[in-house]
């Protein structure tokens, strides 16, 4: 790519995540100046052109497109960034692939496995010739990256067991109307797809591929008010519980829920090996807890390691390695990694192939919950680096 080339990014959707992605691009000059020189937010398209125009003005005059296909097919757009509800990912992904764009897409990759496999097949690297990345930003929390390093260095020894939890309280209020994330026709799967996609990625990223799983789903509030104000029957899981065996033979649990009172954004994991253990919680994100088992008499429990902004994958001097990291920082790290891959002509990591593998795991978990049986996971996982 020419040294002075600027990649024009077209953002599809400007809700919670569209704004998060726009934020990431706006702070790149500070966190990743060398990348910022080569990428800019150029276009915006949402379901509501009027509010898109207001947002675009606030973003400094970004071009507004009334129809997704107009933005996706515009030759001035180099990267399509998809932040729409899950059911709309597929059409946008296919249109972007047919137009030969680089693509950055929010998780889950698609609405179901068939769609995800089609998209991953059409955009596989290097045949497709462009870079396609999925947003699994939790890998980019500094403490998670340090945990990965400890695991790669073998500091925990053989992994024996684990616990991965992602708990919210957003569905415990029956009077709160359901949103699209509670409607299976729009999300494809409830909390399993929303929070579970993140956790299945994180589990595979840290501990490797899965061998089998047994899943149970729960709907605790079967009737609530729908988006149209009418009585509505809930059709997507409000919690999912997975008992998982890894290819490595480690066994553990993965719980995702939006019916956990008192929680807010409580992502946490604990990993127990024969030589030591790691614990981390998003609610205390700047500290990684580590325990070493050197002999039966030397047990001293967990030590808290202050990680803060170190290992964030962005400029280590901004604002300072000592400064607390924050939730948005992981999204900045994920976007920076994707843009670096585009600029370097490399495959993205996290990739669409990894996104399709996570979609496979979610599909098998739904199958297990439906049949009440443990399912084996025959599919080979893509490289997860
Ligand atoms: N990585 C994360 O941290 C994270 C967090 C939340 C959501 N997500 C994912 O991000 C995606 C969007 O979720 P959200 O919470 O931002 O949703 P949202 O409801 O807040 O926003 C959706 C946006 O998409 C627009 N939209 C809807 N249909 C459209 C269409 N057909 N064409 C163009 N625009 C359309 C809406 O106008 C809105 O701007 C989902 O796939 C979700 O799973 C990721």
> How far, in Å, CA of 267 to CA of 280, rounded?
8
Residue 225 confidence (pLDDT): 87
Helix (H) or strand (E) holding 217: strand 210-218
> How far, in Å, CA of 283 to CA of 264, rounded?
9
> How far, in Å, CA of 363 to CA of 344, rounded?
33
Q: Mean per-residue pLDDT for 72-89?
A: 98
Residue 299 confidence (pLDDT): 67
pLDDT digits (tens, 9 = 90+) for 95-130: 999 999 999 999 999 999 999 999 999 999 999 999
Task: Tell the residue nearest (CA) to atom 15 of ligand 1.
Answer: 16
- Does 3 score more than 70 pLDDT? no
Q: Which of 45, 70, 83 gets mutated to test ligand 1 (max ligand atoms within 8 A of its CB)?
A: 83
Structure token pair of residue 139:
């890998």
pLDDT digits (tens, 9 = 90+) for 144-174: 999 999 999 999 999 999 999 999 999 998 8
> How far, in Å, CA of 247 to CA of 234, rounded?
35
Rounded to two decimals, the pTM is 0.96
User: Given strand 287-292, what is the order of strands in its sheet?
Assistant: 303-306, 287-292, 276-281, 266-273, 159-167, 251-257, 239-246, 210-218, 375-376
pLDDT digits (tens, 9 = 90+) for 213-237: 999 999 999 999 888 888 999 999 9
Is the CB of 188 within 6 Å of ligand 1? no
Residues of the chain with CATH 3.30.360.10: 139-321+353-376
Is the CB of 84 within 6 Å of ligand 1? yes
Domain spanning 139-321+353-376: CATH superfamily: Dihydrodipicolinate Reductase; domain 2 (3.30.360.10)
At residue 332 the predicted structure's pLDDT band, cuts being 50, 70 and 90, is very high
Q: Mean per-residue pLDDT for 190-207?
A: 98
Closest by CA position to 222, among listed 234, 213, 206, 210: 234
Task: Tell the residue nearest (CA) to atom 29 of ligand 1.
Answer: 47
Residue 365 confidence (pLDDT): 98
pLDDT digits (tens, 9 = 90+) for 252-308: 999 999 999 999 999 999 999 999 999 999 999 999 999 998 878 776 799 999 999
* Contacts of 339 by beta carbon, 8 Å cutoff, 6+ apart: 7, 28, 32, 35, 38, 39
Q: For ligand 1, what atom is nearest to the CA of residue 194?
A: 43
Q: What proportion of the chain, given as a percentage, has pLDDT over 70?
A: 99
Could you say which architecture CATH assigns to the domain 7-138?
A: 3-Layer(aba) Sandwich (3.40)
Using an 8 Å Cβ cutoff, are 143 and 287 in contact? yes
> How far, in Å, CA of 349 to CA of 351, rounded?
5
Residue 74 confidence (pLDDT): 98
- Does 374 score more than 90 pLDDT? yes
Spacing, Cα 180 to ligand 1 middle (Å): 10
Closest by CA position to 347, among listed 337, 361, 357, 356: 337
What are the DSSP calls for 139-153, one per residue? GGSHHHHHHHHHHHT
At residue 316 the predicted structure's pLDDT band, cuts being 50, 70 and 90, is confident
What value does the mean pLDDT of the chain take?
A: 95
At residue 24 the predicted structure's pLDDT band, cuts being 50, 70 and 90, is very high
Residues of the chain with CATH 3.40.50.720: 7-138
């Amino acid at each position: 790519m020419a040294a002075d080339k600027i990649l024009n990014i077209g953002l599809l959707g400007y809700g919670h995540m569209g704004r998060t992605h726009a934020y990431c691009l706006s702070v790149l000059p500070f966190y990743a100046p060398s990348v910022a020189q080569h990428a800019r937010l150029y276009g915006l398209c949402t379901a509501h052109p009027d509010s898109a125009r207001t947002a675009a003005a606030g973003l400094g005059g970004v071009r507004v497109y009334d129809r997704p296909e107009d933005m996706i097919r515009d030759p001035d757009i180099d990267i399509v960034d998809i932040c729409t509800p899950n059911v709309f990912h597929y059409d946008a992904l296919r249109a972007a692939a047919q137009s030969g764009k680089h693509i950055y897409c929010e998780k889950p990759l698609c609405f179901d496995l068939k769609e995800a496999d089609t998209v991953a097949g059409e955009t596989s690297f290097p045949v497709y010739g462009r870079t396609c990345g999925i947003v699994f930003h939790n890998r980019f929390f500094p403490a998670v990256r340090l945990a990965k390093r400890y695991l790669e260095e073998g500091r925990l020894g053989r992994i024996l067991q684990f616990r991965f939890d992602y708990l919210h309280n957003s569905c415990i209020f029956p009077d709160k109307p359901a949103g699209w994330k509670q409607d299976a026709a729009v999300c494809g799967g409830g909390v399993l797809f929303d929070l579970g996609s993140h956790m299945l990625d994180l589990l595979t990223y840290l501990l490797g591929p899965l061998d089998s799983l047994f899943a149970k789903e729960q709907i605790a509030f079967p009737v609530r008010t729908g988006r149209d104000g009418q009585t509505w029957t809930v059709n997507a899981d409000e919690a999912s519980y997975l008992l998982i065996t890894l290819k490595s033979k480690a066994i553990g649990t993965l719980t995702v829920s939006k019916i956990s009172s008192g929680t807010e954004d409580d992502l946490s994991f604990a990993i127990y090996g024969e030589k030591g253990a790691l614990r981390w919680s998003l609610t205390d994100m700047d500290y990684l807890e580590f325990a070493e088992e050197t002999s039966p008499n030397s047990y001293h429990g967990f030590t808290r390691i202050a990680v803060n902004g170190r290992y964030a994958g962005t400029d280590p001097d901004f604002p300072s390695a000592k400064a607390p990291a924050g939730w948005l920082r992981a999204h900045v790290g994920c976007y920076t990694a994707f843009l670096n891959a585009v600029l370097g002509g490399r495959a993205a990591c996290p990739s669409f192939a990894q996104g399709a593998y996570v979609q496979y795991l979610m599909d098998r978990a739904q199958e297990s919950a439906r049949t009440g049986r443990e399912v084996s996971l025959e599919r080979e996982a893509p490289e997860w680096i």
